[in-house]
Structure 1
Amino acid sequence: MKAARFYDRGDIRIEDIAPQSLDAGTVRIDVAWCGICGTDLHEYLDGPIFVPAAGHPHPISGESAPVTLGHEFSGVVAELGEGVTDLAVGDHVVVEPYIIGDDVHTGPESQDYHLSPNMNFIGLGGRGGGLAENVVVARRWVHRIDPAVPLDQAALIEPLSVAYHAVQRSGAVAGQTALIGGAGPIGLLTAAVLKAIGVRVIISELSELRRTKALDAGVADVALNPAEVNVAEEVRRLTDGQGADVAFECTSVQVVFDTLLDAVRATGVVVVVSIWGKPASFDMHRLVMREIDVRGTIGYVNSHPATIALVESGKIDLAPFITGKIGLEGLIDEGFDTLINRNETAVKILVS
C-alpha cells in the first residue's frame, strides 16, 4: 500500500509498504482523509522531534525512522481483530492517536494518561499513520462517528479535540470574553469550541484570509489585525476596561504571548496551546502584580467523545476550515510547501 514515510529532516518519501498485521483487539481502518498538522511541518523542518530518530527505537512502539506519518484522520472500519465485538465493518470512525504504555490507566475517568512517560502519537512515534491507505489501531483508540458527519470534516475531530481540551484547561464559561492569538487551524478550532459554549471570541491575526475565515465561519465576534491596532488596548475597550477573561496562545511567537499577558484582566488566564521550539520570556512582575495564571495544554484526555458530540449535534461546523484537498503524491509540493511558505493562504489541507 502507499504511505508517506518520514526518514529524516527534509526527507519524506511516498513508498509502497506492507500493511500492518491485524492482531487481537485491533481494528483495520481504510483511511479516507488525513490532515496535515503543524507538528508534521515541525518534523519536516526541524525533526526528528516526536519521531524516534533512526537507530533509536521508541520505548513503547519499538520503532524508529522511517515511520509512517499522519495523526489527524478519519476512515471506515475494514476488518476487526479477534475480540472486537462493539464495532462493525463499514462503521465510520476517527482515531485518538496515542501511543501509551500498557501499564497506564486509560479508562473514562482518567485525566492524566496523556501526560504519562514516553507518550507519543500514532503517525509520529510509529504504529502506522493516517498518511497511508490503511492503518491498524488498538480498539481503545477508535471512536465511532455518525455517518451523517462527512468523512472529510471528521478528519478535523482530532485537532478539534486539542482545542476542546485547551478550553477545558482555561476554565472558560458562557458569558466570558476570550482572546485568541493566531487564527491558524488550532486557533480557529479553539474559537469554534468557545463559541459553542457561549463565550465571546476576539481573534488577533495578521492574515486577512484567516481573519475573514474566522468571521465568516461565525467563530469570532471580532477579528483584529495586530499590524493596525494595539490589540491589548482594543480588547480593554471592548470589555469596559477590564480585559479578556481568558486568552489562548496559538502561534509560538513571543510578541503574541506578550500581547495576551497585557490583554487579559487581573486574575485572567493565559493558556499556551502552541508547541514552542525555543524558550520564551515574559514579564514576571506583571504576572505577579495582576495575579495572572499561565497554563500549558497538550493533546487531549478522554476528550474525543464530547468533541464528537459537539460536531454530531451541529454546534460546530467543520466544513469552513477545510481549504484544500490533495492526493498523497502531492503531499510535499502541494501540501507542505503551501503550509510552510504560503500559510496565510490556507487553514487545513486534507490528503486523500
Structure 2
Amino acid sequence: MRAARYYDRGDIRIEDITEPEVVPGTVGIDVAWCGICGTDLHEYAEGPIFIPPAGHPQPISKESAPITLGHEMSGVVYAVGAGLDDIAVGDHVVVEPYILHDDVDTGPDSHDYHLSEDMNFIGLGGCGGGLGEKITVKRRWVHKISSNIPLDQAALIEPLSVGYHAVERSGAASGATALITGAGPIGLLTAAVCKAKGITTIISEPSSLRRNKAVEAGVGDHIVDPVADDVVARVRDINGGRGADVGFECTSVQPALDTLLDALKPTGVLVVVSIWSHPGSVDMQKLVLKEIDMRGTIAYVNSHPATIELVEQGKVDLAPFITGRIGLDHLIDAGFDTLINRNETAVKILVSPSGAGL
C-alpha cells in the first residue's frame, strides 16, 4: 500500500509499504480521509517533536523515523481481529489515536490517561497512520459513527474532540461569553463546540479570509479584527462592560495571549489550547491582580463519544471547515506548502490516501 512517511524535518516521502496485519484485538480500517494537522506542520517545519528520531525508538511503539504520518482519520472497517464481537466489517469509524502503555487505565471514568508516561499519538509516535491506505488499531481506540455522517466530515471529529476537551477544561456553561483568539482549525472547532453548548463566542482573527470562514460556518457571534479593532474594548462592549468569562488561546502567538489576559474579566479562565514550539511569557501581575485561572489542555480524554454525539445530533456542522481535498501525491505542494505558507487561505485540507474519495 502507499503511505506518507516522515524521515526528518522537511523530508516526507510517499512510499510503498507492507499492509498492516490484523491481529487479535485489533480492527483493520480502510482509511477514507485524513486531515493535515497543525502538529504535522510543526513536525515538517521544526521537528521532530512527537516523532521519535531515527535510532531513538518511542518507548511504547518501539518505532522511530521513518514513520507513517496522520492522526485525524476516518474510514471503513475491512477486517476484525479475533476476540472482537462488537464491531463489524463495513462499520464507519474514527480513531482516537493514542499510544499508551497497556497498564494505563483508559476506562470510562479515567480523566488522565492522556497525561500518562510516554504518551504519544498514532501517526506521530508510530503504529501506522492515517496517511496510509490502511491501518490496524486496537479496538479501544476505534469509535463507530453513524453512516449518515459523510466520511470526509468524520475526519474532523478528532480535532473537534480537541475543542470539546478544551471547553470542558474551561468549565464554561451556557450563557457564558468566550473570547477565542485565532480562527484556524482548532479555534473554529472550539468555537463550534462553544456554540453547541450555548456559549456566546467572540473570535479575534487578523486574516479576512479566516474571519469570513468563521461567519460562513456560523460559529462566531462576534468577529473582531485585532489589527483594526481594540479587542479588549469590543469584548467589554459586547459583554455589558465586563470582560470575557473564558478565553481560548488557539494561535501560539504572544500578542494573542497578552490580549486574553487583558480581555478576561476578574476571575476569568484562560485555556491555552495551541501547541507552543517556543517559550511564551505571562504578565504575572495581571494574572495575580485579576485572579485569572490559567489552564493548559492537550488533546482529549474520553471526549470522542460526546463529540460524536454532537455531530450525530446535528449540533455541529463540520462541512464548512473542509477547504481542500487532495491525494497523497499532492501532500506537500497542495497540502503542507499551502498550510505553512498560505495558511490564511485554508482551514482543513483532507487527504484521500487511496485516491478513492477524489
TM-score > 0.5, shorter chain as reference: yes
The 3-state SS of whatever aligns with 1:52 is coil
CA distance in 1: counterparts of 2:255 and 2:27, whole angstroms? 45
Q: Secondary structure at the match of 1:147?
A: coil
**Aligned residue in 1 for 2:228:** 228
Shift of 1:101: 0.3
Are 2:270 and 1:288 aligned? no
One-letter code aligned to 1:104: V
Counterpart for residue 243 of structure 2: 243
Letter in 1 for 2:252: S
Structure 1 counterpart of 2:29, which letter? I
Equivalent in the alignment of 1:196: 196
2:114 is matched with 114
How much has 1:124 moved relative to structure 2?
A: 0.3
* Per-residue deviation, 1:172: 0.6
Post-superposition offset of 1:222: 0.6
Cα distance in 1 for residues equivalent to 2:290 and 2:346 = 37
Structure 1 distance, partners of 2:24, 2:88, is 15
Instruction: Please report how far the alpha carbon of residue 120 of structure 1 lies from its aligned counterpart in structure 2 after TM superposition.
Output: 0.2
Matched residue type, 2:12: I
1:169 corresponds to:
169
Equivalence for 1:263 = 263
Q: Which amino acid aligns with 1:164?
A: Y
1:246-289 deviation per Cα after TM superposition (whole angstroms, max 9, x unaligned): 00000000000000110000000000000011111111111111
CA distance in 1, matches of 2:257, 2:298: 17
User: Does residue 6 of the first structure (1) align with residue 6 of the second (2)?
Assistant: yes
CA deviation after TM superposition for structure 1 residue 215, in Å: 1.3
**Corresponding residue for residue 21 of structure 1:** 21
1:69 has 2:69 as partner:
yes
Structure 1 residue ranges, 4+ long, deviating more than 2 angstroms after superposition: none
SS in 2 for 1:137: strand
Q: Give the match for residue 215 of structure 2.
A: 215
Counterpart of 2:355 in structure 1 is none
* Deviation readout 1:49-104 (Å, 9 max, x if unpaired): 00000000000000000000000000000000001110010000000000000010
Q: Secondary structure at the match of 1:214?
A: helix
TM-score by length of structure 2 reads 0.98
Cα offset, 1:216, TM superposition: 1.7
Could you give the per-residue CA deviations for residues 194-236 of structure 1, whole angstroms, max 9, x where no partner exists? 0000000000001111111111211110110001011011111
Calculate the TM-score normalised by the size of structure 1.
1.00
Aligned twin of 1:155? 155
Say if 2:297 is the partner of 1:310: no
Unpaired runs of 5+ residues, structure 1, are: none
Please give the alpha-carbon distance, in whole angstroms, between the structure 1 residues aligned to 2:123 and 2:216: 32
The equivalent residue for 2:39 is: 39
Partner of 1:185: 185
Q: For 1:239 and 1:321, locate their aligned partners in 2 and report how far apart those are by CA, in whole Å.
A: 27
Counterpart AA for 2:282: F
Counterpart residue number, 1:92:
92
Deviation string for 1:296-342 (max 9, x for gaps)? 00010000000000000000000000000001110001100000000
Per the TM alignment, residue 156 of structure 1 is displaced from its structure 2 partner at its CA by 0.1
Shift of 1:240: 1.5
Aligned residue in 1 for 2:276: 276
For residue 356 of structure 2, what is the aligned residue in structure 1?
A: none
Unaligned runs of 5+ in 2: 353-358
Give the Å deviation of 1:23.
1.0
Measure the CA separation in 2 of the matches of 1:216 and 1:56.
Answer: 45
Provide the rounded CA distance (Å) in 2 between the counterparts of 1:240 and 1:313: 32
Structure 1 vs Structure 2: percent identity of aligned residues? 71
Residue 179 of structure 1: how far off its partner (Å): 0.3
Give the whole-Å Cα distance in 2 for the aligned partners of 1:80 and 1:256. Answer: 46
Partners in 2 of 1:2 and 1:208 — Cα distance? 37
Deviation at 1:347, TM superposition (A): 0.2
